[in-house]
Chain A
Amino acid sequence: MSRKLLVVEDDTITSSYLVQSLREQGYTVDIAEDGREALYLASDGAYDLVVLDRMLPGLDGLSVLKALRAARIETPVLLLSALSTLDERVKGLKAGGDDYMVKPFAVSELLARIEVLLRRRSAGPEAETKLRCGDLEMDLIARKVSRAGKAVELQPREFALLEYLMRHQGQLVTRTMLLEAVWDYHFDPQTNVIDVHISRLRQRVDKGFQQSLIHTIRGAGYRLAAEG
């Protein structure tokens, strides 16, 4: 079953590029070029996700979002904006946005975030107490990790990092996403801070095992998966 996405973006070059990338990923994509059209298309709730630019002719992105939420349409919305201040980010999320990306952005990052939002929706909100990936097990209550029955000692941050990867296993997770989720920093460090932390985590989790679970996706980020 193919997922249906709505891309709301008034810049035709950006939108056609986005749409092409999304179609390559197997999504069905519709385009709206202004706020009114977006509201019209999205108001039946038939989309799995809306990628919404904030600056739009007619009705601006935030108003579209507020109108949708007021109409109890809970389709996940990923906001795109050239406005990068923390204020704007908070404003966007408060209005009911599920994620916020600042332009210019890397398409791989956008794809990764879309994937996370779609999975989150299908996963449902029920609380889990144990996460599992292959022979790696994480007990969220006892805060213990074991691989093939052997305990793996982790620092609190390493635990948080692994937890995020496990919750999104099989998905591409970018460095920015990790920095945001685990450290709650929204800036772009100059050195590859995240790479170092991942390589430490790898030492604890993958070292001495035949099969690696943490995979590097070149030029994009990481993926935790039992195979491939």
Chain B
Amino acid sequence: MAIRPQSATLQIARALIPLSLVVTLVPFGVLYYDLSKQHEREVATEVGGELSMLKSVYEQEGPAAVEEMIRGRLRNSASGRMLYLFEDGYRYRVAGNLTTWPAAASGFAWEVVPLSRSTFTEPEIMGASATELPGRYRLLVAVPRDEWGIPTATILKGAILAFVIALALTIVTGFRVSHFLRRHMSSIVETAEDILGGDMSRRVKVSYLPVEFSVVSASLNAMLSRIEDSMTTMRAVTDSIAHDFRSSLTRLGARLEMASGGKGGEQELRTAMRDAASEVDSMLHILNSLLEIARAEAGVSGDQMVDMDLATLITDVGDLYVPVAEESGLHLNVHAAEPIQVRAHPELLAQAIANLIDNAIKYSPRGSAIELRASLGPLGPLIEVSDRGPGIPAEARERVIHRFVRLDAARKSPGSGLGLSLVAAVAKLHGAFLKLHDNLPGLTAVIQFVAKPRRKPPLSFLFRRTVER
């Protein structure tokens, strides 16, 4: 369907015009119909009275008296609006001002038929009554409809007036509605323009708006916040990449320069090249981690989420890491007592758990134990990884989740500082969150799934169609 843009005023008016037409014309139509019926009844009674009066004259005094009476009435204009036709047995007009008998029957109670006043005039619609008289005479009395006294002109005038007023009101309403829309839209438009101008922090003011608009605006604001969020994140990532890669590239450049300018032998060159290659490797590793985080943060399509069992998942990941832990003189204990169903992306979740275990292994003192546990908490399913390492000070816990943040104490051990941000991103993707607790001593990292109701925007009942897709 092609939609041509039109002003709201025009559209509203167009929708309302048939409505106002119906609203004004139907009552007047009914009024006209009722009034005309009423007048017709009155005229019919009048005509019936005249006819029966003439009939009794005929019966008492004969045709000549009736002829005389009709002629007299027509002459003096005493007949008012009534017209007559009085015929003898030969269907010859004895008296009256109508030319032709309208029907086959000689007598009828009340008919609305076309009748002519003379041979040369057009027939008019008239209401007529007729009766047959003894001696094969017959008599008809009629009143043209125009003279029934129906106030047609008044009703028509009223109808037109009402319609004009309704039309005017319709147009005014159209203008007012579109003005109303525009007034409330303008705050949205202004916000959009400010944002176009570069001020990402602007939001639509929701409080002044009618409910329908505030729902739209709230959704818009939420969307804007999400966009601003990702832009900020993106900027942070770009900065971090720039920082990390710049230092790596500088080291790499310096090393290569030294190697090419130095007087070292082949052995020395080989060492330098190997160093350079491992520098490149670590950069690739960082890049891959960043891409994975970006991918987790961008979200995955729903069909990649499957119903899966957390117990099986942590058993599998544990299986991969138990020997690694043992190699570092640690015990990795996997606690997966009962199956716990969640809807998740198995690969990303496995990677998140692997990252947590990697961290735990990295920071645990020799001989200690790492606990990997899946259980059903009060909020919903959760995965815990606890170690007995140095832990993270409470004030730093929020910070370490951000990209590239590594506490000073950890600077010397290998790692990119991206592990926890990937875990956080994966958690967010699953509608879960990453929480770091004190394990007294040590660190407990929890991926807490939140059993969430079906997601619906606030006041969604107003927009049922957009929600139930």
Contacts and interface: CB of A to CB of B under 8 A. Distances in A.
Contacts of A2: none
Interface string A63-87: 0000000000000000000001111
Given A104-B287, A188-B285, A189-B354, A86 B347 contact: yes
Interface stretch (A30-38, A143-151, A164-172, A192-200): A192-200
Given A84-B291, A84-B295, A87-B301, A187 B321 contact: no
B347 A186 contact: yes
A196 B327 contact: yes
Given A87-B301, A87-B304, A104-B284, A190 B415 contact: yes
Interface size class of A (residues with CB under 8 A): 20 to 34
Contacts of A190: 354-355, 358, 415, 419
B319 interface: yes
B280 to A, nearest CB: 9
Interface in A171-192: 183, 185-191
B315 to A, nearest CB: 11
> Does more than half of chain A's interface fall in helix, strand or loop, or is it mixed?
loop
A197 B325 CA distance: 11
A200 B347 contact: no
B288 interface: yes
A183 B316 contact: yes
A86 B304 contact: yes
Contacts of A106: 281, 284
Nearest to A158: B323
Interface size class of B (residues with CB under 8 A): 20 to 34
Nearest to B322: A196
A157 B355 contact: no
Contacts of B319: 157
B350 interface: yes
A200 B324 CA distance: 10
B292 interface: yes
Contacts of B292: 84, 187
Contacts of A187: 292, 347, 350-351, 354
A102 B292 CA distance: 12
Interface string B273-284: 000010001001
B320 interface: yes
Interface string B385-420: 000000000000000000000000000000100010
Interface in B329-343: none
B361 interface: yes
Contacts of A193: 320-321, 324, 354
Contacts of A185: 320, 347, 350-351, 354
Interface in A82-116: 84-87, 102, 104, 106
Contacts of B285: 188
Nearest to B345: A86
B278 to A, nearest CB: 9
A187 B347 CA distance: 8
A196 B351 contact: no
A4 B232 CA distance: 49
Give the one of B323, B361, B415 with max A CB within 10 A: B323
A196 B320 CA distance: 9
Contacts of B324: 191, 193, 196
A196 B323 contact: yes
B50 to A, nearest CB: 96
Contact of B358 (A87, A186, A191): A191
Contacts of A104: 284, 287
B403 to A, nearest CB: 15
Contacts of B304: 86-87
Contacts of B288: 84, 102, 188
Interface string B415-445: 1000100000000000000000000000000
A192 to B, nearest CB: 8
Contacts of A191: 324, 358, 361-362
Nearest to A192: B324
A43 to B, nearest CB: 34
A183 B355 CA distance: 16
B424 to A, nearest CB: 16
B252 to A, nearest CB: 15
A157 B292 CA distance: 26
Nearest to A104: B284
Nearest to B358: A190
Nearest to B291: A84
A63 to B, nearest CB: 22
Contacts of A157: 319
A161 B85 CA distance: 122
A200 B323 contact: yes
14 contacts: A84-B295, A86-B304, A87-B300, A104-B284, A106-B281, A183-B320, A185-B347, A187-B351, A188-B285, A190-B355, A191-B358, A196-B324, A196-B327, A199-B327
Given A87-B300, A188-B288, A189-B320, 12 more contacts: A84-B295, A85-B295, A188-B289, A189-B358, A190-B354, A190-B358, A191-B324, A191-B361, A193-B320, A193-B321, A197-B320, A197-B323
Interface of A: 84-87, 102, 104, 106, 157, 183, 185-191, 193, 196-197, 199-200, 219
Q: Which 6 A-B pairs have the closest CB atoms?
A: A187-B351, A190-B358, A196-B324, A196-B323, A196-B327, A200-B323
Interface of B: 277, 281, 284-285, 287-289, 291-292, 295, 300-301, 304, 316, 319-321, 323-324, 327, 347, 350-351, 354-355, 358, 361-362, 415, 419
